[in-house]
């Protein structure tokens, strides 16, 4: 069966198409992605502007055309923090669903964490023991911990790399003052969830998903002799400082760092460093599966039930 996940995130509209059947591993067959950066279209009333809505609809139209062209049999449209938190998010979704004939569903932060955790569990298997899974998106940070396919703890914080960059970082390179404000803000947000996570620190494996974390793992490998599949706490501490001293042009020239990613990789690095330090994590392992794979796996599980 050919399934498509249409993910409307804070950074992109991303269509991922997979071929799968009950009991089978989802096999990626097609990807279509367009940068949108919805958070940049928020006004002072936390409403997405008409320009933002127009661009969203244009991206959706192209993604749906691509989905049809590759023969997608079932489309699973999801939206995350940008539309979830916008004051006019419900209104936009209702209009989009009516006009495009889809059923775009907004995921809560907890649902995001649970679906990402499910994907990591299936990727690493039961033998991997207790997992702690971290995902840094454009709008939010998700953390899940547990031994089963559903985490015992699933939390979400507004610590996405794009969000933090837009609201806290200024200058090029970013000013020392804005970096200090960024770090203080991350610490204060993490303080809210540490009590819930502290007794789950003795995990067997700490897992990282998302493009931001994969990019940071590659930089760890390039700069500090790693394999590009892990993030060491000492390396991310050094990387955070090194990236924050660069200007945008310098970061854009780094291997594997797109222009859009170059803007927000500094915030992503400091979130990663803070999470690892506060949870006493020495290493994160990269998982190639994340939210979209979790959506597919959950849908297939329900179909088999």
| Ordered domains of the chain (ranges, CATH) | 2-106 (3.30.420.40), 110-286 (3.30.420.150)
- The pLDDT tens digits for 83-101 are 999 999 999 999 999 999 9
pLDDT number for residue 195: 83
Which residue shows structure tokens 């460093």?
273
> What pLDDT sits at residue 72?
98
**pLDDT tens digits along 145-172:** 999 999 999 999 999 999 999 999 999 9
pTM given for the model: 0.96
- In 176-275, the DSSP E strands lie at 205-209, 230-232
Kindly indicate the confidence band of residue 200, based on its pLDDT and cuts at 50, 70 and 90: low
Q: What pLDDT does residue 199 have?
A: 63
Q: How far is CA 262 from the centre of its chain?
A: 16
Decide if pLDDT at 305 tops 80: no
Helix (H, G, I), strand (E, B) or coil at 156: strand
Q: Over 80: is that where the pLDDT of 113 sits? A: yes
Check residues 224 and 5 and name the one with the higher pLDDT.
5
Q: How many CB atoms lie within 10 A of CB 127?
A: 6
| Predicted confidence (pLDDT) at residue 201 exceeds the cutoff of 70 | no
Residue given tokens 């023991």 in the structure block: 129
**Confidence class of residue 303 from pLDDT cuts 50, 70 and 90?**
confident
The confidence score (pLDDT) of residue 197 equals: 82
Whether 183 contacts 275, CB under 8 Å? no
What's the 3-state SS for 100-144?
HCCCCEECCHHHHHHHHHHHHHHHHCHHHCCEEEEEECCCCEEEE
The separation between CA 249 and the C-alpha centre of its own chain, rounded to angstroms, equals 24
Confidence of residue 133 (pLDDT cuts 50, 70, 90): very high
For the segment 208-257, what is each residue's pLDDT rounded down to a tens digit? 999 999 999 999 999 998 889 999 999 999 999 999 999 999 999 999 89
pLDDT at 194 over 90: no
Query: Among 51-60, 192-201, 265-274, which is the least confidently predicted range?
Result: 192-201
Structure tokens given for 276: 């690892």
Query: What does the angle CA 120 – CA 124 – CA 127 come to, to the nearest 5 degrees?
Result: 130
Longest CA pairwise span in the chain (Å)? 54
Q: What is the mean pLDDT of the chain?
A: 95
- Residue 31 pLDDT more than 90? yes
Cis before 173? omega within 30:
yes
């Amino acid at each position: 069966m050919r399934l498509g996940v249409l993910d409307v995130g804070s950074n992109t509209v991303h269509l991922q198409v997979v071929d799968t059947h009950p009991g089978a591993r989802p096999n990626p067959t097609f990807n279509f992605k367009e940068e949108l950066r919805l958070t940049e279209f928020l006004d002072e009333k936390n409403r997405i502007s008409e320009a933002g809505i127009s661009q969203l609809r244009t991206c959706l139209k192209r993604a749906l055309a691509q989905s049809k062209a590759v023969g997608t049999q079932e489309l699973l449209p999801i939206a995350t923090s940008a539309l979830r938190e916008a004051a006019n998010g419900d209104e936009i979704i209702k209009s989009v669903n009516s006009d495009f004939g889809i059923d775009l569903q907004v995921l809560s932060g907890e649902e995001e964490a649970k679906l990402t955790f499910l994907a990591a569990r299936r990727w690493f298997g039961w033998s991997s023991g207790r997992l702690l899974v971290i995902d840094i998106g454009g709008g939010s940070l998700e953390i899940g911990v547990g031994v089963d396919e559903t985490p015992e703890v699933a939390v979400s914080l507004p610590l996405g790399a794009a969000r933090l960059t837009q609201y806290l970082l200024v200058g090029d390179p970013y000013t020392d003052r804005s970096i200090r404000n960024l770090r203080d803000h991350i610490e204060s947000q993490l303080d809210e969830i540490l009590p819930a996570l502290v007794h789950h620190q003795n995990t067997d494996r700490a897992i990282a998903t998302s493009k931001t974390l994969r990019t940071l793992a590659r930089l760890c490998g390039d700069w500090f002799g790693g394999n590009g599949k892990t993030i060491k706490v000492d390396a991310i501490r050094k990387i955070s400082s090194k990236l924050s001293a660069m200007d945008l042009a310098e970061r854009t020239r780094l291997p594997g760092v797109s222009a859009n990613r170059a803007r927000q990789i500094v915030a992503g690095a400091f979130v990663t460093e803070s999470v690892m330090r506060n949870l006493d994590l020495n290493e994160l392992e990269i998982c190639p599966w994340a939210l979209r794979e979790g959506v597919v796996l959950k849908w297939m599980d329900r179909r088999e039930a």
